Amino acid sequence: MRDPKYDKVNCDALIKVMRAGGSVASVCVALDICKSTFYNWLKDYPEFNTAYERGKVGYEAFLEELITLGASGRLPHFNATAALGLANNKLGWTRGPGQGGDTNISIGNMNVLQSLPDTEFKRLLEDKMKQYRLENPQAVLDVDYESN
C-alpha cells in the first residue's frame, strides 16, 4: 500500500533541501516522514528516485562550493578536515589517486585557489556554480567573506 502523504511536490522539496546541503535525514524532517518511508518512496515512485539522484548532485555541488570557499580563505573558521571528512563519508571523495573516488583534493590546489585575485576566483566560482545550475550564484559571489 502506498503512503497517502506522498505528493509529487515532495520531489521539489527533496531537491531544494539537498542543494542547500541537507542530508536524507534533513529531507525526512522537511517532509515530516521517517527514513523507512523515504526509502519506500524511492522504490515505489520513480519520479522521487529521479529527484533523489538530482538532489545528490546538488548536494555534491554544495559541498564543492563550501570547500572551495573555505580553501580560498573566504569562509571564516572553516574546518577543512571536517569538510573533507564529510565529503569522503557522504560522497566517497578521496585525497589521492587509487583510493576509491574520482575527486582529488590537495593542499596544492587549495593554495592555488587562495592565491587567485578576487576577480579571477569569483569568475571561477561563478563558472562552477553555473555548471551545477545553482539557483543564484550572484548571491554567493556578493557576500563579503573577509568581513565575517
| CA 23/CA 39 separation, integer angstroms | 13
Q: What are the sequence ranges of the domains in the chain?
A: 9-147
Rounded alpha-carbon distances, angstroms, from residue 36 to 29, 39, 46, 51: 13, 5, 16, 17
Three-point CA angle 140, 13, 62, nearest 5°: 30
Confidence (pTM): 0.60
Neighbours of 93 (CB within 10 A): 22
57-79 pLDDT tens trace: 998 888 888 888 887 888 888 88
73-117 pLDDT tens trace: 888 888 877 877 777 777 776 655 444 444 444 555 555 666 667
